[in-house]
Amino acid sequence: MKITKIFFHFINLVFLTLYLYPGSIFGYLLYGNLNKQPKISPDFYFSSNHVYAFVVLSLFGLICHINKKKIIIYFAIISIFLELAHLIIPNRSFQFGDLFGNVLGVLISILIIKIFNYLEKK
């Protein structure tokens, strides 16, 4: 197995842990408060933190998986499922801005890969 695929699976596991943990691990590490989320940049109609996270995760997945359709379906499902899971996880809350950020991050990754593949063929 390639090192990028191993790294993707590691990132995916860390990502799932951070997303499903009842509180903010980063908030606890930075502020000593499980309820405070650090912000990388200001939010607009969507959560910028979620966009960044899903761009990184999706790019690694798209780079190291041959079957692009299956991995895109996986990212579509997980981007929705993880945010819906916040409805039942204590100290977490469902927010449409976060959901839009998740989906936007996946779409941006797909666009980056498409552009890269197009330029590579030229």
Structure confidence by residue, pLDDT tens digits, 8-45:
889 999 989 888 888 777 666 777 776 667 666 666 77
Give the alpha-carbon dihedral of 51, 100, 44, 30, to 10 degrees. -50
For residue 39, the model assigns a pLDDT of 66
For residue 38, the model assigns a pLDDT of 66
For residue 67, the model assigns a pLDDT of 81
* Stated pTM of the model: 0.82
Residue 1: strand, helix, or coil: coil
Q: DSSP 3-state helix, strand, coil percentages of the chain (rounded to 5)?
A: 70, 0, 30
Amino acid at 73: I
- The span from the CA of 108 to the CA of 48, in Å, is 12
- The span from the CA of 69 to the CA of 108, in Å, is 16
- The span from the CA of 43 to the CA of 11, in Å, is 24
The residue among 50 and 106 whose pLDDT is bigger is: 106
Domain boundaries in the chain?
3-121
Q: How confident is the model at residue 7 (pLDDT cuts 50, 70, 90)?
A: confident
- Give the H/E segment covering residue 25: helix 25-31
14-18, 65-69, 86-90: range with lowest mean pLDDT: 65-69
Nearest C-alpha neighbor of 72 from the set 82, 59, 85, 81: 59
| CA atoms in the 13 A half-sphere facing the CB of 60 | 18
